[in-house]
Amino acid sequence: MKKLMEIKNLCKTYVIEKRQNNVLKNVSFDVEEGEMVGIMGPSGSGKSTLLYSVSGMDRATSGSVTLDGKDITALSEKELASVRLNDMGFIFQQMFMMKNLTIMDNILLPAVECSKSTESRKEKVARCEELMRKLGIIEIAANDINEVSGGQLQRACIARSMVNNPKILFADEPTGALNRQSSAEVMDEICKLNKEGTTVLMVTHDAKVASRCSRVLYIADGNIRSEYRTPEGLSDRDRERALNNWLLELGW
Amino acid sequence: MFLRILKKDIQKKKVMNLIVLLFVILASMFVGSGLNNVLTVLNGTDYYLEKGGVGDYVIITMGPNSIGALDDMLSSTPAIDAYRMDNVVYGSKDSLKKGDGSAIESKNVLLMQCLEDSTFHFFNEDNNAPAALAPGHCYVTGDFMAKNGLSEGDILEVGQEDVSVRLIVDGRLKDALLGSTFMGNTRILMHKDDFTKFSGSEKIAKAYSGQICCIDTKDVDTVDKAASGCKNISLAKPASTISMCYIMDMIVAFIVLLLSVCLIILSFVVLKVSLSFTINKEYREIGVMKAIGIKNRKIRTLFLTKYFGIAVVGSVIGFIASIPFTKLLLSSVSKNMVLGNSLGYLLNAIGAVIVVIVILLLAYLSTSKVKKATPVDAIRTGQSGERYSKKSKLHLSRSNKLGAPSFLAINDTASSPKRYISIVIAFALCTLFVLMLVNTTNTMRSEALISTFGTKSDLYMTSVKDSMEIMGSTEEETKAFFEKWEKEIADLGMPGHVALECQYGYNITYNGETTRVICEHGYGTNFEDYVFLEGSRPQCKNEVAITKILSKKLDIKIGDTITIDFGSEKIDCIVTAYYQSFNQIGEVIRLHPDAPVENTYITSTMSFQFTFDDHPDRKTILERQKILKDHFKNDEVFTTSEYVADCIQVVPTMETVQYLLLVITIIVVILVTILMELSFIADEKSQIALLKAIGFKNGRIYLWHVIRFGIVALFAVLLAGLLSIPMTNLCISPIFGMMGAYEIDYAIKPLEIFVIYPGIILLATLLVASLICLTSRSIHASDTANIE
């Protein structure tokens, strides 16, 4: 498989009141095309910082992050914004949406801003509708964001993240704010997208969610301590059990 | 713990607290200076005339035997409580020269008198009594110094008949009686030794002396009737009429007053919006505090303590800032006047205290939500989850041409218009004032008002010397005078005719009451050119028109018959029409051309009018203006619009106030833009971070914010532009009405009110919004992780 992302010696240090806090310490790992990689770890271990540094939302202190052969740590703010718009998708734990827009317009917004395709507005709308149909939220297209459930909103966020056909989808605790039913539905959609070829890098503390990833990285004290490849051919319950056993070995 | 929460709150919400603080400073500044200005302007001329010692009724005598002309009337009228008398010597601009021998400019008659013996109170630039004069020194009143480019220490040569003195100018003084734009007479106030040289001359005493008598009375009408029987009267008016002469200054003052009231309203609106906004932001904390068991009363006290602290700090700063702001607002009004109130800056302090009280009240009302908030609100970040109202008004999917930033901006304003109301009110109100002033100033320097001064001609020439010559000449001499000038202009290759609008003082009798009234009669003017408002144009010598002001004052209506004593004969005249005039504050009668007027009754004249036979275009008129200036060696040759502006006099002041108001408006617009844009950025932090996270460049986010502010500002200034036309009519027409003109065709310049001035305000808004939205650069895509 082709390497989509290559992270080498990534460090992130925060200086708060002259006190250095090394959140990431020489983190290195790769993400292959079509993979679904989970990042787990205790609170404060640096999971979210890693995700934000890798996705270019935050600047790493040192190290390199290569996306499809392009070192994104060397890019300007403007270039990084273009990469985020055209090549990356984001799902957050809080279902952030633009308050004054309908669900449809929230999903359409990045597509309108994106200049990589020559599609007309009508074609972009049609693509959004197709995506919403696929995620089962077409009936809420005209709704305001406060008129839908959390699960529907998170699926709308997924649709927004996928609207520009990104090379990679970053998810920060995508089910963290959802109930069990909605969590399962959202994870089904993410897995479906992954199966259709979208690479996913996801932070989670939920073993059930992580067990659906093909690979899980365990991060503690700013370092990747261990890596787990989910065995193929197991049922969902067995995959979860196997992952839990691995986590227990790591002291989870 | 209470204090710790408070301290943390102040540290954590620096930006929001700073925004509220800035609004409080603005509010205290506006309320403080607004209150002071309102009271000062309302006191206005009454305060000034009282301070100036004008009394209740003023009589000015002029000409041969004028000294002592009032003595009998003063002693035989019991209604007179007390009176003060000043002796004066009259002069024209030919009586004065600058130290270097060059001529001086003065449109009206000049008065010379002794400062020490004067019963009037004059004021220097600082509104204090002037220092005593040394022999050989003088003060001058009004705008004489500015008009003639004189400064302190310059020399004036004053000569009349056989007396001549050289005086060093010690400065300019404010004159309550004659310093108004309507009166516009300059007084040369000199030392007793110098004045005695003039008053001691027999020649001067015979022809150029006069008296000013200020009478204290409770019965102005009786004194008015008594005065109508006196001779040599140049002016006999109650203080209320003298006060009306400051109407032009009061237009400016009232605009300042309206501006102050609006600034007060504006500051409270903005304050209410910002307080509600910040307290909404604290909804979550309220929920958390309730969840941990803190009582409603304590939570409310916490917020009230915080806002009390901010209010006190802001009000103190605002009070200090309001002092120079008050002076700035009143500076253009108080050029000719002494404005003030007995309370001084105590009013500014009262304003600051009011702001503190209002803030506490607003904060108390806004924190009523504390009762409603449940601990669950903390979990739901203040959202009750029960809002089902549709928010988005537009659809990106249906807006084919709009880019994302433009769509977001338009949709925001369309979806939450309430959020932008305070900006619209602030911008529209301020712009409206500027535009009302622009419309008024444009009208005052347009040809639209010429009918209120007389008839329209091609050129006008002011010459006090020639006017005085007419006043002293016979009918034949006058005819010869005009024929001579008409021949002169024909010889210059511009044949035409010369006319002069004259005012005559006649006693009129109606219902057995006799009153002295100024009657207007044009020499050589075309009677068809006069404009009448109601009724029919007078057709013969026993028909007259009357102004509505005089009609109201004397209770004379169309159809009534009045008796006019023309000196040579008394004629019963029927009032056939109403007309409007700015002359004599609108208290005049228009006579028919055949009326038996005599020059000896002329009290004043307007400017000489030149109407050319060949109906020249504007360019030719301007060329002829130069030719006339050279021919008559007189710089005071005006086109119609220049003449109107010269008659009204207040145009330069109005222009100054207009620019001052524009500057104040821009400052208010800048402050409101800064504060509101900072509020928007703080409120939309999560949305900005989200847009950045999904790949929006900084520039596109700036564009969203700038377009949004632009839309709101554009709406506000266009609204102001549209409102400015009816509002000018509504607010300014009554002021013109007080001066005698009821029907004004305002000179509305669409380019100025819809493009230039709104454009300036819009440009300032866009510029400031562009700069302030740069602060959103500090919000990063990664902040999506930290936003609650």
Which pLDDT tens digit goes with each residue over B624-646? 999 999 999 888 899 999 998 88
Any B CB within 8 A of A99 CB: yes
Tens digits of residue pLDDT in A43-89: 888 888 899 999 988 888 999 999 988 999 999 988 989 999 999 99
Chain B residues within an 8 Å CB radius of A58: 780-782
Q: Chain A: give the shortest CA distance to residue B693, in Å.
A: 6
Domains, in order of start, for chain A? 3-249 (3.40.50.300)
Are B582 and B452 contacting, i.e. CB atoms less than 8 angstroms apart? yes
| Chain A CB within 8 Å of residue B694 CB | yes
Q: Minimum mean pLDDT among B117-131, B268-282, B538-552, B592-606: which range?
A: B268-282
Q: What does the pLDDT look like over B476-512, one tens digit per residue?
A: 889 999 999 999 999 999 999 999 999 888 889 998 8
Contacts of residue A109, defined as CB under 8 A and 6 or more positions apart, other chains included, come to A98, A101, A160, B396, B404, B694
How large is the average pLDDT for residues B516-543?
91
Of B400, B695, B782, the CB nearest to A86: B695
Q: Which 3 state secondary structure label does DSSP give B736?
A: helix
Residue range B13-42, pLDDT digits in tens: 676 677 778 778 877 887 888 778 777 766
What is the spatial distance between Cα B673 and Cα B19, in angstroms, rounded to a whole number? 12
Q: What is the mean pLDDT of chain A?
A: 88
Which of A80-94, A171-185, A207-221, B510-524 shows the lowest per-residue confidence on average (mean pLDDT)?
A: A171-185
Kindly indicate the confidence band of residue B342, based on its pLDDT and cuts at 50, 70 and 90.
low
Does the ipTM exceed 0.85? yes
pLDDT digits (tens, 9 = 90+) for B295-336: 888 888 887 888 888 889 999 999 998 888 888 777 766 667
Q: Residue A22: what pLDDT?
A: 86
Nearest Cα neighbor of B531 from B463, B452, B419, B434 is B452
pTM of the model: 0.74
CB contact under 8 A, B396 and A98: no
Q: Can you say whether residue A136 is alpha, beta or left, with left for phi > 0 and alpha for psi between -120 and 50 degrees?
A: left
Distance CA B505, CA B524 (A): 19
Residues of A in contact with B388 (CB under 8 A): 146-147
* Residues of chain B contacting A125 with CB distance shorter than 8 Å: 397
Question: Helical H runs in A114-206?
Answer: 121-135, 150-162, 180-195
CB contact under 8 A, A90 and B694: yes
- Cβ-based neighbour number of residue A64 at 10 Å: 15
Q: Which of A76, A82, A94, A98 has the highest number of chain B CBs within 10 A, making it the mutation to test binding with B?
A: A98
- Please list every residue in chain A whose beta carbon sits closer than 8 Å to the beta carbon of residue B385: 146
- A211-239, pLDDT tens digit by residue? 999 999 999 988 999 999 988 888 888 98
Query: Which chain B positions have a beta carbon within 8 Å of A24's beta carbon?
Result: none
Does residue A117 belong to the interface with chain B, where contact is any CB pair within 8 Å? no
Distance from chain centroid for Cα B405: 43
